[in-house]
Amino acid sequence: MRCELGNTWIMLRHNFDLQDLQMQPLFSLFFPSSPLRVEFTMIKETIAALDIVNQFLPTMFGHLLYTVIQWHQLGVTGDVIFSSLSPSPYLLKSSDFSDQSETTADYFSRSSHRGSIVSNADYGQVLNSLEEKSEKSHSEIFSRPSSRNSVSAAPQSGSSSRRGSGDASSLMDPDASLSELRDIYDLKDQIQDVEGRYMQGLKELKDSLAEVEEKYKKAMVSNAQLDNEKNNLIYQVDTLKDVIEEKEEQIAEYYRENEEKSKELERQKHNCSVLQHKLDELKEGLRQRDELIEANLRMQENIDSITKEVFHLQETNNWKDKKIGALERQKDYFDCIKNERDELREELADLKETMKRGQKHGLVIIPDGTPNGDLNHESVVGTITVVSQEAAQVLESAGEGPLDIRLRKLAGEKEELLSQVRKLKMQLEEERQKYSKSDSMNPDTIDLENGSDLQLIEMQRDANRQISEYKFKLSKAEQDITTLEQNIGRLEGQVARYKNAAENAEKVEDELKAEKRKLQRELRTALDKIEEMEMTNSHLMKRLEKMKANRTALLSQQ
């Protein structure tokens, strides 16, 4: 029972270490060297334990406290006190707390899982030494031997206690009973003081418990707030994780789309390069076509300019032909006038000859001073006029009348003819001046002032020759254009054929490569088979040699 109660208080000491300084006055007596730790559940368990202990406080706790106070005055520490704490052998009865000690031990044993339990073997030596000291002190106080006999007889009876033996000894010794009563009263006073201190400590413990509960409530509120914040942060972390996962999925999708776009870009670049090559070819074809068109336009412009020149030359030729016709007509007219003038001169000469002959033969001599051959009306009487037959015909054509009248008529006609010739010459000069002005406006007709027909003919021939040359060049250019177009068509056909041939060659090359790979695979398989056959052949040869050797060995043994 002593060891059980000591272990119970050891468990109480280990399970209910307090931390609040307000509880120090009560527990410093029992735990002078223990650390101060406060816990709400431990405080509740301590209060429950104190309620249980309070039930048997008048019988047990007073003596316990007295023993503890004496040990404390002797300088014994709290660890040693609680390791060897046991009820006094002469103050307590086993029947007073036998029923309650079991429940208390059970209670503290149930609550002992929160602290470390000190075993009996660890404190055995200390308990034995303290028991010896307590017995010595009791023997000094109670000097009668009946106490020891009662102590030694207690284990034999099984139902009696140390207190019962103490009561018997006190009845036998009145002096000892009086001293014991004094001690009991002193102990009662001390117990009352201890109870007052206990109640004060209990009150302080309750106050500290209320404060601890308040702190606990605040801590619970703060813990709830922290839990809420923690839950919020966890929710935010989860949402951020979801967002990060979504972003990672989006990034992966973007990477995949980027790869697809890059591949599509490479394909587009390849197509663009192919189209650029085709565009360059088409540009080259267009350039050649433009060159041909420009050459054709130049040829057409040359042809147009040549046709214009030919048209101008034709107009000039027509104008020159007209002018030549007019000049020819004027020439014919002038020739007629010249012929008439020549005839008149011949007639005049004939008349002069006839007059000369008439003077010689008695005709009227016209004096030299007579202007224009005019004769005075006075004539020499009796003169004879002799004229020739031609002169007579001219005179007859002049009309009837005397000779001088006829001659005057001829002279008047001559003057009229001369005046007409002068008029015609003036008109001819005017026409020449007009033609010279018009020829100065056209430099190609400068050489026509003299009216040479050879130059006009040569110019016509040159114009005709140039026209024929330009026509020949035009026909040649048209032939060149047609030949170039034919060459373009032929080259396009050749390009198409070459493309088809290249495609066919690529197909044939692919087929040949595939066939080559197939043949190489067949060659490798054939070489592998040959190696296997050689290995099997060598193995069979070795076996054959072994069989031959075995056969020869068997034959030699026989």
Whether the predicted pLDDT of 78 surpasses 60: no
Closest CA to 62 of 80, 99, 87: 87
Least confident of 33-37, 149-153, 251-255, 384-388: 149-153
* pLDDT band at residue 213 under the 50/70/90 scheme: confident
> Distance between CA 254 and CA 256 in Å, rounded?
5
Please state the rounded mean pLDDT for residues 101-124: 40
> Distance between CA 313 and CA 138 in Å, rounded?
175
Q: Maximum distance among all alpha carbons in the chain?
A: 261
Least confident of 102-116, 161-175, 191-205, 469-483: 102-116
Please state the rounded mean pLDDT for residues 459-482: 78
pLDDT, tens digit, for every residue of 230-239?
888 888 888 8
Whether the predicted pLDDT of 135 surpasses 70: no
Element spanning 411, H or E: helix 403-441
User: pTM, whole model, 2 decimals?
Assistant: 0.23
Least confident of 89-103, 395-409, 506-520: 89-103
Long-range contacts of 315-322 (CB under 8 A, 24+ apart): 316/442, 316/444, 316/445, 316/459, 317/456, 317/459, 317/460, 317/463, 320/445, 320/448, 320/456
When comparing pLDDT for 505 and 112, which is higher? 505
**What pLDDT is attached to residue 301?**
80
Whether the predicted pLDDT of 441 surpasses 70: no
SS3 content of the chain, % helix, strand, coil (to 5): 85, 0, 15
* pLDDT band at residue 52 under the 50/70/90 scheme: low
Most confident of 32-36, 64-68, 370-374, 448-452: 64-68
**What pLDDT is attached to residue 380?**
37
Please state the rounded mean pLDDT for residues 327-341: 74
Most confident of 360-369, 440-449, 521-530: 521-530
When comparing pLDDT for 472 and 357, which is higher? 472
Buried b (16+ CB within 10 A) or exposed e, 269-287: eeeeeeeeeeeeeeeeeee
* Percentage of the chain lying above the pLDDT 70 cut: 53
> Distance between CA 409 and CA 399 in Å, rounded?
9
* pLDDT band at residue 160 under the 50/70/90 scheme: very low
Whether the predicted pLDDT of 513 surpasses 70: yes
* pLDDT band at residue 20 under the 50/70/90 scheme: very low
**What pLDDT is attached to residue 50?**
56
**What pLDDT is attached to residue 496?**
84
* Percentage of the chain lying above the pLDDT 90 cut: 0
DSSP state of 444: G
pLDDT, tens digit, for every residue of 243-297?
888 888 888 888 888 888 888 888 888 888 888 888 888 888 778 878 888 877 7
Least confident of 3-7, 61-65, 508-512: 3-7
Count CB-CB contacts under 10 A for residue 405.
15
Backbone angles phi, psi at 399, to 5 degrees: 115, -175
SS3 (DSSP) at 70: helix
CB 407 within 8 A of CB 373: yes
When comparing pLDDT for 347 and 219, which is higher? 219
**What pLDDT is attached to residue 401?**
63
Q: Alpha carbon of 182 to those of 62, 176, 376: distances in Å?
A: 15, 10, 235
Buried b (16+ CB within 10 A) or exposed e, 111-149: bbeebeebeeeebeeebeebeeebeeebeeebeeebbee
* pLDDT band at residue 74 under the 50/70/90 scheme: low
Query: How far, in whole angstroms, is CA 440 from its chain's centroid?
Result: 80
**What pLDDT is attached to residue 34?**
40
Q: Calculate the dihedral angle through the C-alpha atoms of 340, 345, 350, 354, rounding to the nearest 10 degrees.
A: 130
